[in-house]
Chains A and B, each alone.
Chain A
Amino acid sequence: MTILNESGVPDVVSPLHGLSGLAEDLKDALILVVGTRADAHLALSLAGPLPGSPAPGVFPKKPAPSVSFVVLEPGERPEGGVLASRVVEAASGSRDAGVVLLVACRSARFLGVDPHFEAELAERRLGGLPVRAIEAVPATSGVLSTDLVDEALRVLVDLSPSGVSGPEHEESIHAKGGARAGLLGRLRGRTGGRGSYDEASEGKSVVLLGGASRSRGELASELRRAGVEVGGSVPADERGGLPGGISELPAVGEGAVVAVLDPYLAGATREAEERGATVVKTLFPIGVDGTSRFIGDVVAATGGVTSGTARARKIWEGLEHLRSRVRGKRVFFTGDSGLEVPLARFLANAGAVVLEVGTPRLEKRFLGVELSALGSDVDVVESPDWRAQLDRIEAARPDVVVAGPGLFVPLVARGHLCRSSLDLLALDPRGYEGARRVLALFTRTFERAEALDALNL
């Protein structure tokens, strides 16, 4: 594997694009975007369907009602506390809010707004409702379209209770069925042979970080099969008839085992580590082998042992008809969401030939396991230049290009078969079912292209 830094301008949609999805995921969050007209326009413009994005209905047409914009006039230098007052007004009109996220755009800083101070002030005035400021764009070089999600989940990790050990926690785990799961796990360990569960795991709570509700459910049930009960997830899911929300966040601290589902959650992962949680360093649960190793390593981190080889083999067998359509196909990732490396690893495992994996930012330490699992003949290009990528795509003529919305239409116009990176993100590619969805998506893509090519126009 070669890693090259092209230091170019990659085709990346702004992280503010993620507002709609965030509003859907964090149902009790009131999201206030603080910035100028340009920032609000950007967020609103990107809320509509973008090239290659899924069919209408998958993405909401406009930001959810829980998203509002605090528009700063360029001439004003707002005094300290003015923004906090607006936040208080907005939060007062939203009775169901469990948390207020103040998404601070770069321009807000230029206008002298200190979003963290304002958030603190607003929280004090709101008497307990948490208000947190997050940066719309990270200070690091290279922007991923998913950076806002990482920032939001970092805040949620920060808002999670930190205490895991101790009698109180034991009680809560028992109340949520932890003891039953442990017993079930031990029984399975003895009888089913699918996994064994160690006594040491009883003191550890597994927290799933990231992903989507559907894949979190699937992975939790896979872990349950292996004898490990998931204590909760960030963001919190609906459980036992209770709506998932800020009050349902699991404890993330010493004693918690955090299993990270997404390769773009470096910030949220660091936050969990700083709180003393054990972060499982493994492959992300994308693809069959990735999911299998993820489950095995999470179980191992709780003190258990499981071997997912047989299950992975069975899943691969079930996917053979889809895999056969992908085998030998040449795939090019232009890169914008951060999902590219594990997706490329999965497709390579499925028999595809990965020509290039572009990524605007490569967190080598965070993605260390993934990078080492990537085939030796794959080129990873950090911060690629989109125009140079166009030339390379023209030269290589891949069978399919996974591209961002900016390059989607030009590539289709040049006769390339394309799938949008946003489409793959919305597909929820995690877990075994996610693997099926990814292979089915590519199969559909190839089949439709063949059907269209066969037409005598």
Chain B
Amino acid sequence: MRVLRGLYEGPGSHGILRVAASVEGARAVLCAYPEEGYFPALHGALTRFGDPAPVSLSPIGGPGLARDLPEVLRKNPDTEAVILARSESALLSGEGLPDPVLPESRETGRAPKLVICPWEAPSLREIEAADLALMELVRAHARPQAKSPTPTVNVFGPPIFGPGAEEEAQEMERLLGLLGIGAVRVPLGASVGELARLPRAWANVVLYREVGEEATRFLHDEFGMPRVTTPPLGSAGTGAVLRAVGELCSLDAGRVRRTVWAELARTAKLPWYARLAVPETFAGRRAVVFGDFTYALGLGYTLAREVGLEVAWAGTYLPHLEKDFLFQAGTFTDEAFFTDDPDEVAARVEETNPDLIVGTHLEGDVADALGIPFLPLCPPVAQNPFVGRPLMGYRGSSVLADALDGALGGPPGELVAWGRPGDPGGPRRRWRSWRRYRPF
């Protein structure tokens, strides 16, 4: 029992619903109490799509799933797959795992595939549940088949509600297209039919390991499909992914190299930013990074290696990826940790007093309070723009360059003290940016 002021991730059922709502033709049926059916409101708020959320509520205390399911399918005849989820309260109240038989669809003459999540538990959190739910969907539909005649890959990106999820996948699709490789997006935008054809691809590219790890492992174990797990963040990360995919698709290494160079010259602005800014812009300036797994690691690595900032620490809120995170973060920072308490992160920020915070929207308060430049680049984020911008790929590296340029400004000027000597923690020292004194 803990007193918290915020949460980084929701319950397991929310993760299952996110995955189900990402796949076209899939519908989630949530066994829950009526007040727990908040997904449609969030779906409307976050996606602003015109379609209602593909989620139906089977209220506990109502007629029951055996009667609700045929009704749901009657009202949604185009449903190709049904995934069952139980809310945390439903699980705590002892709601068992139902085993209903689905009626045949009047449109297709076939019964939709029923996907159940036997691993559901009240302690399971959103991201892990989303990962497992995607694996269940893939396992239920993927069928052995011949490889596509030309190279194709499956791109496993973030599910619905992920910031810039659509744009991340688009950018990777664009880059793969430059190499002549076809791409199928999973889970966001994939249809149930495409899930069945996943084994046709030559490899799986995991953009967002949090929701793609288990499904790609399954495809590897079951169909021998290789996978690329490097996050395509920053120019170095993107180049590494393209080279690895090129190799798996037996492309000419020279062609891959030329494509990378062309993109570095044309699209990627992060290397230019790193070279154009004088070294003093970054020297002695410390950043801290807190977030999920992919973005926290990818951005931390990029800031440390490509930009040249000192990353004082990096943290994650994902307990099931903690060990892996600590291992990977060791490549660019001396201090890595796990916590899911926003107050603990705030305390660490206050203690470190960095020059830049890269985090989730929950770090906004402490950044405001201490006056530290803040980039909310790791999910969950509060912004919900109509047009998202990628952070992955070469276009994403340019977005990052812009963000850093805005947050860090030019080289630091004089070192000034702010805060009163009597303040807890004493006066804090901050670089005063030269930008402030620009005449124009």
| A405 located at the interface, meaning its Cβ lies under 8 Å from any Cβ of chain B in the complex | yes
| A131 located at the interface, meaning its Cβ lies under 8 Å from any Cβ of chain B in the complex | no
Q: Verify A32–B3 contact, CB threshold 8 A.
A: yes
Report B-chain residues with C-beta under 8 Å of the C-beta of A69. 3-5, 7
Q: Verify B3–A107 contact, CB threshold 8 A.
A: no
Q: How large is the interface on B (under 10, 10 to 19, 20 to 34, 35 or more residues)?
A: 35 or more
Q: Verify A74–B123 contact, CB threshold 8 A.
A: yes
Report A-chain residues with C-beta under 8 Å of the C-beta of B38. 13-14, 42, 45-46
| A237 located at the interface, meaning its Cβ lies under 8 Å from any Cβ of chain B in the complex | no
Report B-chain residues with C-beta under 8 Å of the C-beta of A406. 40-41, 43-44, 52-53
Q: How large is the interface on A (under 10, 10 to 19, 20 to 34, 35 or more residues)?
A: 35 or more
**Cα distance A83–B45 in the bound complex, in angstroms:** 34
Chain B stretch 36-61: residues in CB contact (< 8 A) with chain A: 36-38, 40-45, 47-53, 57, 59
With known contacts A38-B87, A89-B3, A405–B34 Cβ distance under 8 A: no
With known contacts A51-B44, A405-B44, A410-B50, A44–B34 Cβ distance under 8 A: no
Q: Verify A50–B10 contact, CB threshold 8 A.
A: no
Report B-chain residues with C-beta under 8 Å of the C-beta of A102. none
Q: Verify B35–A15 contact, CB threshold 8 A.
A: yes
Q: Verify B1–A70 contact, CB threshold 8 A.
A: yes
Report A-chain residues with C-beta under 8 Å of the C-beta of B185. none
Interface string of A31-62 (1 = CB under 8 A from B): 01000111111101110111100000000011
Residue of A with least CB distance to B61:
A141
Instruction: Name the distance in Å between A303's Cβ and chain B's nearest Cβ.
Output: 43
With known contacts A36-B122, A48-B45, A71-B1, A413–B89 Cβ distance under 8 A: no
Q: Verify B5–A68 contact, CB threshold 8 A.
A: yes
Chain B stretch 1-42: residues in CB contact (< 8 A) with chain A: 1-7, 9-11, 13-14, 33-38, 40-42
Report B-chain residues with C-beta under 8 Å of the C-beta of A82. 1
Report A-chain residues with C-beta under 8 Å of the C-beta of B59. 9
| A137 located at the interface, meaning its Cβ lies under 8 Å from any Cβ of chain B in the complex | yes
With known contacts A14-B35, A70-B1, A413–B51 Cβ distance under 8 A: yes
> How many A-B Cβ pairs are below 8 Å?
148
Report A-chain residues with C-beta under 8 Å of the C-beta of B93. 110
With known contacts A74-B122, A75-B123, A143-B35, A38–B10 Cβ distance under 8 A: yes
Instruction: Name the distance in Å between B60's Cβ and chain A's nearest Cβ.
Output: 10
Report B-chain residues with C-beta under 8 Å of the C-beta of A46. 38, 41-42
| B121 located at the interface, meaning its Cβ lies under 8 Å from any Cβ of chain A in the complex | yes
Q: Verify B3–A409 contact, CB threshold 8 A.
A: no
Q: Verify A413–B49 contact, CB threshold 8 A.
A: yes
| B92 located at the interface, meaning its Cβ lies under 8 Å from any Cβ of chain A in the complex | yes
Report A-chain residues with C-beta under 8 Å of the C-beta of B420. none
Q: Verify A49–B3 contact, CB threshold 8 A.
A: no
Chain A stretch 1-37: residues in CB contact (< 8 A) with chain B: 9, 11-16, 32, 36-37
With known contacts A69-B4, A409-B50, A413-B51, A106–B122 Cβ distance under 8 A: no
With known contacts A9-B34, A37-B88, A110-B93, A50–B122 Cβ distance under 8 A: no
**Cα distance A12–B37 in the bound complex, in angstroms:** 8
Report B-chain residues with C-beta under 8 Å of the C-beta of A89. 3
**Cα distance A387–B40 in the bound complex, in angstroms:** 12
Q: Verify B89–A110 contact, CB threshold 8 A.
A: yes
**Cα distance A228–B122 in the bound complex, in angstroms:** 55
Q: Verify A86–B1 contact, CB threshold 8 A.
A: yes
Partner of A37, one of B11, B48, B53: B11
With known contacts A41-B11, A106-B33, A76–B1 Cβ distance under 8 A: yes
| B382 located at the interface, meaning its Cβ lies under 8 Å from any Cβ of chain A in the complex | yes
Residue of B with least CB distance to A413:
B50
Report A-chain residues with C-beta under 8 Å of the C-beta of B35. 12, 14-16, 106, 136-137, 143
Residue of B with least CB distance to A69:
B4
| B125 located at the interface, meaning its Cβ lies under 8 Å from any Cβ of chain A in the complex | yes
| A408 located at the interface, meaning its Cβ lies under 8 Å from any Cβ of chain B in the complex | yes
Q: Verify A38–B11 contact, CB threshold 8 A.
A: yes
| B436 located at the interface, meaning its Cβ lies under 8 Å from any Cβ of chain A in the complex | no
Residue of A with least CB distance to B91:
A74
| B438 located at the interface, meaning its Cβ lies under 8 Å from any Cβ of chain A in the complex | no
| A90 located at the interface, meaning its Cβ lies under 8 Å from any Cβ of chain B in the complex | yes
Q: Is the interface of B mostly helix, strand, loop or mixed?
A: mixed
| B75 located at the interface, meaning its Cβ lies under 8 Å from any Cβ of chain A in the complex | yes
**Cα distance A317–B44 in the bound complex, in angstroms:** 39
Q: Verify A61–B382 contact, CB threshold 8 A.
A: yes
**Cα distance A249–B3 in the bound complex, in angstroms:** 29
**Cα distance A405–B91 in the bound complex, in angstroms:** 27
| A286 located at the interface, meaning its Cβ lies under 8 Å from any Cβ of chain B in the complex | no
Interface string of A102-146 (1 = CB under 8 A from B): 000111001100000000000000000000000011000001000
| A404 located at the interface, meaning its Cβ lies under 8 Å from any Cβ of chain B in the complex | yes
Instruction: Name the distance in Å between B343's Cβ and chain A's nearest Cβ.
Output: 10
Q: Verify B41–A404 contact, CB threshold 8 A.
A: yes
**Cα distance A409–B35 in the bound complex, in angstroms:** 20
| A414 located at the interface, meaning its Cβ lies under 8 Å from any Cβ of chain B in the complex | yes
Report A-chain residues with C-beta under 8 Å of the C-beta of B51. 410, 413
Instruction: Name the distance in Å between A27's Cβ and chain B's nearest Cβ.
Output: 18
Q: Verify A38–B13 contact, CB threshold 8 A.
A: yes
Partner of A45, one of B42, B48, B57, B125: B42
Residue of A with least CB distance to B39:
A406
| A318 located at the interface, meaning its Cβ lies under 8 Å from any Cβ of chain B in the complex | no
Residue of A with least CB distance to B72:
A387
Instruction: Name the distance in Å between A292's Cβ and chain B's nearest Cβ.
Output: 36
**Cα distance A76–B34 in the bound complex, in angstroms:** 25
Report A-chain residues with C-beta under 8 Å of the C-beta of B41. 13, 46, 50-51, 404-406
Report B-chain residues with C-beta under 8 Å of the C-beta of A305. none
**Cα distance A18–B45 in the bound complex, in angstroms:** 17
**Cα distance A414–B51 in the bound complex, in angstroms:** 9
Instruction: Name the distance in Å between B103's Cβ and chain A's nearest Cβ.
Output: 18
Report B-chain residues with C-beta under 8 Å of the C-beta of A90. 3
Q: Verify A38–B50 contact, CB threshold 8 A.
A: no
With known contacts A41-B14, A143-B35, A50–B44 Cβ distance under 8 A: yes
| A80 located at the interface, meaning its Cβ lies under 8 Å from any Cβ of chain B in the complex | no
Report A-chain residues with C-beta under 8 Å of the C-beta of B87. 38
| A368 located at the interface, meaning its Cβ lies under 8 Å from any Cβ of chain B in the complex | no
Report B-chain residues with C-beta under 8 Å of the C-beta of A404. 41
A–B pairs, 9, beta carbons within 8 Å: A14-B36, A16-B35, A45-B42, A50-B41, A74-B123, A86-B1, A106-B35, A106-B89, A414-B50
In order of increasing CB-CB distance, the 8 nearest A-B pairs are A413-B50, A74-B122, A41-B10, A406-B40, A38-B11, A409-B44, A38-B88, A110-B92
**Besides A45-B38, A46-B38, 20 other CB < 8 A contacts?**
A9-B34, A15-B35, A36-B92, A38-B87, A38-B88, A38-B89, A40-B7, A41-B9, A42-B38, A51-B45, A68-B5, A71-B2, A76-B1, A86-B1, A110-B89, A405-B41, A408-B44, A409-B48, A410-B52, A414-B50
